[in-house]
Structure 1
Amino acid sequence: MRESFGTALVTGGGSGLGRATARHLAAQGCRVAVLDCDLAAAESVAKDIGGLGLGCDVSDTAAVGAAFAKVQAVFATAPRLVVNCAGIGTAGRILPRDGALPIAAFERTLRVNLLGSYIVLSHAAQAMAGLAPMADGARGLIVNTASVAYQDGQIGQAAYAASKGGVAALTLPAARELARFGIRVMTIAPGLFETPMTEALPEDARAAITAQIPFPARLGAPEDFALLVGQIALNPYLNGEVIRLDAAVRLAPR
C-alpha cells in the first residue's frame, strides 16, 4: 500500500467484505479504524489487526461524526482512505401476496445503504479536505459499495437495487465535485459473493447459484473485493467510475 494511505476507515468492517478489506489494508501497512453497528464485531476485527474498533450506525449523522472525531484523536490524523461496506440486504416484492405495502422496508433500505453511504462520504470529504496535499496533489480516496443488482435487479430486489443504484449514480458527481480537493471517489459493484447467507444454504442451492457464474465458476471471496480496494488505492488515475466485480455474471429476473 502506498505510504500516502497510511490511515484507513472501513464501515461494515465487522464482517464480510468490510472485514476482509480491513484485514487486507492492515496487512499492507495501514492503520485501520473498523466501524460496524455491532461493536463487539468491530472490536474483534480491530484487535486482530491492531486497529481501532468503533460501534457506529452509518445512517446516524452524529454517530458518524463522532467516529471520525475518535479516529482523528486516536491516530492524530484523518483517514486518507475510506471504504463504505456497511449495508443491508433486503428482499420483498412491491406487491406481496398478502396485499401489504412494505414501504417502511424500502425506506429503511435506502436509509442504510444510500443515505448511510452519503453521510460517511460527506464526513470523509470534510476530513480529507483538511489534510495537507501529497506530492501529486491528492488528499484521499473514498470507495463505496454498490452491487450488480443496480443494473441486474431481480424480482424482490426493488429496494436493494434502488439503494445500490443511488450509490452508483452518486459516484461521478461526487468525484467531479471533490476533484478540486484532490479526493477521488470510486464504487465497486460486487456480484455473487460468499456471505453468511450463502454459507448457510444447502449444497444443491449453492451449486445452482454458482452455475450462473461464467468464470471463475465460484462465488466471489471477500478477499477478492479487498484486493480490488487495494488496487484502486494504488492506481491514481482511477476516479469517478463504478467497477463490476462479478466474474461476468448477469442476474436473471428471478
Structure 2
Amino acid sequence: MKIEGRGFIVAGGGSGLGLATARGLREAGAQVGVLDLKRGEWDGPCATADVADQAEVEQAIDTLISEIGELRGLLNTTGMGHSGLSVGPGRKVTAAGFRRVLEVNTLGSFILAQAAAERMIGSRSDEHGERGVIVSTSSIVAFEGQIGTAAYAAAKGGINAMTLPLAREFGRYGIRVITIAPGIFETPMFSQARGPMVDWLREQVVYPGRPGEAVEFAEMVAHIVRNRMLNGTVIRLDGAYRVPQGRHDWWVD
C-alpha cells in the first residue's frame, strides 16, 4: 500500500517508537494523526484516549479522521508494564496491576484494531484490493519472558495470539494485520532506566551491538505498509537478542 497521501493514526505517537513512526510517515507524505494520553513532542493532529476504553478510542479516531481524511493505516505502540516478583519475599505483582496491564496492552490493541477496521471497511479499496493495514506492537518478552515479567509477557503474548485470527477475518475486506515484537530500543523509558539489570541488558544485542533506534522501528513500519505479502504474522526486530532468564535479586528491594 502506498504511504503518500494516505491517512494514518499512530496510537502512542506522543513519544518513543510511536513519535518516530508518526514523523517518518509524515515525511513520506502521509496525513498523520496521533492518539495518546499526552501530545508529547508531536506537533500535528492529536486526540486523547485511554486505549482500554472503547468509547474514548472510537471518538478519538473519528476526531482524527476528520482532520487526516480516510483511514488507511493504524499503528499502536501504546503499552505499560507491571514488573516484579509474583510470590515470596519482595513480591510486587498484584492482581489489580496484572489486570491493568492486560487491559492496556491486550484489550487496548484489540479495541484499536477493531475500531480501525470498522472504519476502513467503508472505504474504497486501491487497485490491489487493499483498504488498509493495522500494525500492533508486542515484545520479544512474549517469547522469552524473564523473571519478573509475567504480567507483561502475558499481555504481549495476547497481542501475538490475536494477530493471525484478525488477519484471517479482516482479509476479506483487504485489511492486513501485523505485529512487531521489538527487542531493546532506545525509548525514553528505557534510556532513563538505571541499575545493573539495565546495564547488563544493553550488552546483549548480538548485532549491531546496541539497543535499537526509534527510526529503525519506523523503517520497519514503513516497509510493512508497502509490502502486501506481510500479513498475519509477528516480526521480531531485535538484533538477534534473546531475553535471558534474569535474576531474582534484581526485583528485590
Q: TM-score, normalised by structure 1?
A: 0.91
Does the 8 A contact of 1:13 with 1:22 survive in 2?
Answer: yes
Task: Give yes or no for the alignment of 1:66 onto 2:55.
Answer: no
For the residues of structure 1 that align with 2:236 and 2:213, how far apart are their CA atoms?
A: 14
Deviating above 3 A after TM superposition, structure 1's stretches of 4 or more consecutive aligned residues are 98-101, 201-207
For 2:50, the equivalent position in structure 1 comes to 57
For the residues of structure 2 that align with 1:211 and 1:184, how far apart are their CA atoms?
A: 35
- Aligned partner (choices 186, 189, 213) of residue 205 of structure 2: 213
Does the 8 A contact of 1:5 with 1:81 survive in 2?
Answer: no
For 1:34, the equivalent position in structure 2 comes to 34
Equivalent position amino acid for 2:9 in 1: L
For 1:250, the equivalent position in structure 2 comes to 242
Could you tell me the percent identity over the aligned residues? 43
Q: TM-score, normalised by structure 2?
A: 0.92
Change (3 A) 1:90 1:203: closer
Please state how far the C-alpha of 1:72 moved relative to its aligned partner: 2.5
Task: Give yes or no for the alignment of 1:92 onto 2:84.
Answer: yes
For the residues of structure 1 that align with 2:217 and 2:3, how far apart are their CA atoms?
A: 21
Please state how far the C-alpha of 1:218 moved relative to its aligned partner: 0.2
1:51-200 matched pairs, under 5 angstroms: 51-77=44-70, 79-97=71-89, 102-200=94-192
Change (3 A) 1:128 1:210: same
Return the structure number with greater helix share.
1
Please state how far the C-alpha of 1:246 moved relative to its aligned partner: 0.3
Please state how far the C-alpha of 1:208 moved relative to its aligned partner: 2.3
How many residues are paired up?
Answer: 246
Does the 8 A contact of 1:154 with 1:253 survive in 2?
Answer: yes
Q: Which SS does the other structure have where 2:241 is aligned?
A: coil
5+ residue gaps in structure 2? 247-253
Please state how far the C-alpha of 1:198 moved relative to its aligned partner: 2.9
For the residues of structure 1 that align with 2:55 and 2:11, how far apart are their CA atoms?
A: 15
